Copies of this chain bind each other. A is one copy, B any other.
Amino acid sequence: MTLKIGVIGTGAIGQEHIERLHNRLVGATVVAVNDINRKQAEAVAKSITPAARVFDSGQALITDPQVDAIVVTSWGPTHEEFVLASIAAGKPVFCEKPLATSAQACLNIVNAEVASGRHLVQVGFMRRYDRSYRLLKQQIDNGNLGAPLMVHCAHRNPSVPDVYAGDMAITDSFVHEIDVLRWLLDDDYVSAQVVLPRKTRHSRKDLDDPHMILLETKKGIRIDVEIFVNCPYGYDIQCQVVGEDGIGYLPEPMSVLLRKEAKLSHEILQDWKLRFIDSYDVELQEWIGSVKAGVVRGPTAWDGYFASATADACVVAKHSGGIVPIEIGNRPGFYDPQPKLSAA
């Protein structure tokens, strides 16, 4: 059985996902596309997946009987509408980050999904599918590190464009750590604090950079994350889990060790797209598999809501300078973890 997919949003990430589904992944085909810019949708369909039909509206695409499942890669503010419509149609939906643009909107999706009684929503937190994070999680899960006590992280970009402003260090960058660390530790957050170190001269006048963000979990694990988006040396994601019995480090991306020009060196990536490029393939391939198997494996709507609410608390913490409690309420039983499947 081939999964027939409709893609809403044919911008950059939409095109990449269509290309991926069409050429590299197994078990799915793109049968429908839609974009607010119909001409672009037509051009994309023509160049990548000519057999796909172009729809006038996301709603029409969602309800079309030829469409088995939906991928939402449209502009963030439209996510809530399309995900809710997919739930209403009883169809599995993969929604790129963010699930919605406010915690409340995310909660609306959670409530709709719970009310529907079916697990339909997966959020595009791709780091969970990255090989290096999975290797690190194995070390935690097999008990090799003992109980985690602290996690030291860094999220560094060489530079950011001018549209990167305000609290985006939290809502756009740190949100990846928010999700992946919950998954890594199988834990939730109870408080947040944001500290502003001395500002780098490489940052724009109107942009705080770097940030140090501190999280506390229910189990008492303390997390510190450096967010540094004008770190000239490159794109670099670090994660170090300090357990009772040992410490595990997130592997560096594979590269050739060189002896050259007075240095023994590894190259550091400059482009964040290269860092997680493989994980997008794994993410969508596993989503296809889980949709076909009718099981839940990826980040849920609840995870999307939790990330959004945590980011909100961090923004408050940044502006207050204080330690802000994160009070999200209990996870609905509906989202309890399913019995584990065999390892990926």
Q: Which of A49-57, A174-182, A228-236 sits within the interface?
A: A228-236
Q: Which residues of B contact A139 (CB under 8 A)?
A: 256, 258
Please state if A254 and B131 are interface contacts (CB–CB under 8 Å): yes
Q: Distance (Å) between the CB of A306 and the closest chain B CB?
A: 20
Please state if A201 and B244 are interface contacts (CB–CB under 8 Å): yes
Q: Known interface pairs A26-B26, A242-B226, A244-B200. Does A259 touch B251 (Cβ–Cβ under 8 Å)?
A: no
In whole angstroms, how far apart are the Cα atoms of A251 and B257 in the complex?
A: 7
Q: Which residues of B contact A23 (CB under 8 A)?
A: 26
Please state if A258 and B246 are interface contacts (CB–CB under 8 Å): yes
Please state if A212 and B222 are interface contacts (CB–CB under 8 Å): yes
Q: Distance (Å) between the CB of A148 and the closest chain B CB?
A: 8
Task: List residues 165-223 of chain A with CB under 8 A from any CB of chain B.
Answer: 195, 197-202, 210, 212, 214, 216, 219-222
Count of identical protomers in the assembly: 4
Please state if B232 and A245 are interface contacts (CB–CB under 8 Å): yes
Query: Is residue A115 contacting chain B, with contact meaning CB distance below 8 A?
Result: no
Query: Is residue A264 contacting chain B, with contact meaning CB distance below 8 A?
Result: yes
Task: List residues 250-266 of chain A with CB under 8 A from any CB of chain B.
Answer: 250-252, 254-266
Q: Which residues of B contact A24 (CB under 8 A)?
A: 26
Chain A positions 125 through 151: 1 when the CB is less than 8 Å from some CB of chain B, otherwise 0: 000000110011011000011111110
Task: List residues 239-291 of chain A with CB under 8 A from any CB of chain B.
Answer: 242, 244-252, 254-268, 270
In whole angstroms, how far apart are the Cα atoms of A232 and B246 in the complex?
A: 7
| Residue in B135, B199, B268 whose beta carbon sits within 8 Å of that of A264 in the complex | B268
Q: Which residues of B contact A228 (CB under 8 A)?
A: 149-150, 242
Q: Distance (Å) between the CB of A183 and the closest chain B CB?
A: 16
Q: Known interface pairs A135-B255, A222-B195, A257-B249. Does A200 touch B263 (Cβ–Cβ under 8 Å)?
A: no
Q: Distance (Å) between the CB of A50 and the closest chain B CB?
A: 14
**A23, A138, A149, A210 — which one has the most chain B CB atoms within 10 A of its CB?**
A149
Query: Is residue A312 contacting chain B, with contact meaning CB distance below 8 A?
Result: no
Please state if B251 and A262 are interface contacts (CB–CB under 8 Å): no
Q: Distance (Å) between the CB of A32 and the closest chain B CB?
A: 20
A selection of 21 A-B contacts at a CB cut-off of 8 Å is A132-B254, A138-B256, A147-B201, A195-B216, A195-B222, A197-B220, A197-B221, A198-B219, A198-B220, A212-B222, A228-B242, A233-B262, A246-B258, A248-B256, A249-B256, A249-B257, A249-B258, A250-B256, A251-B254, A262-B270, A264-B268
